[in-house]
Amino acid sequence: MKAITNTKYVKNLFFLAILLFSATAVVAQEEEEEETKPSFTFTGSVDAYYRANLNGDNSAPDGAPNAAPGSSFANLPGFSLGMANFVAGYEGEKVGFVADLVFGPRGTDAIFASPIYSATGNIVNQLYAYWNVSDAVTLTFGNFNTFLGYEVISPVANFNYSTSYLFSYGPFSHTGLKADIALSDDFSLMLAVMNPTDMTELNVTGKYTYGAQIGYSGQYLNLLIDNGAYEVDYTGGFDLSDSFFLGLNAAYFDGDGAGSFAGAAIYPQLTTSENFAIGLRAEYFAETDAFGAIGTDTNADPDASVFAVTLTGSATIGNLIIKPELRLDTASDDSGYFLDSDLMAQKSLSSFVLAAVYSF
């Protein structure tokens, strides 16, 4: 009787184990199906700012500021608008798309070369479809933001609100076909064929640009070859502690007779609490043959340089980020971008920016 009881007990345990295993398998399968279920996302941001020159003119009589750094964005005087950015995306198991639209001055500056053909090209920041060919290979076809540089167009992804010379004079976006390849857990490779730089709607020359990127553990070496011109760019960063990050960017551009530039920037950033961080950008940027980024007197010296230091605070209140920012640009010669209150060129310009960025 005891043996029969033990046998029934063992059988009950066995069937209970089967039931538990089956239930676990069903839950795991449902979770896996849920993870691979196609999804639609809608994200974006809105930003605005106040800007004042501390030692320069603060007017914009023709819609363009009389005095502002020769880098992109956050250059308008007084209370000014950034942009509204709306990003719609669809992610399936293997394929998906991104439609990234921008409205406002920052968006206009970012896609300055459009429209070439369409009446709505000036609101398209990115527009591409992608195919995950395998776990290691993704193909992207369409218009996508550049892979060069440390900074990006969206103010949400940049620590500093104003942008660097290196970012401003590298390409913003490309249209073409690129392949992202994961070579291992640490190594990645990207190869691309694209329209000439900034021709995002169509190719008006019949020539093409080629890009490549090698990545290792968050460090990236980039190459862009554009019909005789080329740019080599390094972008990376290191977490030196739980609260201290150091970003790095360096680049050299040769315009094949149309001027060149070279520069380097460091981005130390310290997180002091859950809701506040402070960061510095220190950048040296030099140009040849009056490339145009610094605005010095070309008759005096077609080669010029600028050293720019930007100190930014970042206070988070829910989805809202408040960014107070002090910036000092100092050029090697008097610059037409650094006009004083009498509209006379000077070597340096100091400015203050207070920005509000809301993301969703």
- What residue ranges do the domains of the chain occupy? 39-359
pLDDT at position 11 is: 40
| Segments in the chain below pLDDT 70 | 1-36, 297-301
pLDDT at position 2 is: 35
Please state, in angstroms and rounded to a whole number, the distance separating the CA atoms of residues 72 and 54: 19
pLDDT at position 299 is: 55
- Could you tell me if 270 and 278 are in contact, meaning their C-beta atoms sit under 8 angstroms apart? yes
- Could you tell me if 200 and 145 are in contact, meaning their C-beta atoms sit under 8 angstroms apart? no
The yes/no answer on whether domain 39-359 falls in CATH 2.40.160.10 is yes
| pTM attached to this predicted model | 0.86
pLDDT at position 114 is: 87
- β-pairing, 78-91 vs 39-53, is antiparallel
The residues, ordered by sequence, that sit 6+ positions from 293 with a Cβ below 8 Å of its Cβ are 70, 71, 165, 168, 169, 261, 285, 287, 306
CA 125 to chain centre: 12
pLDDT at position 235 is: 98
Please name the amino acid found at residue 179.
Answer: A
Please state, in angstroms and rounded to a whole number, the distance separating the CA atoms of residues 272 and 297: 43
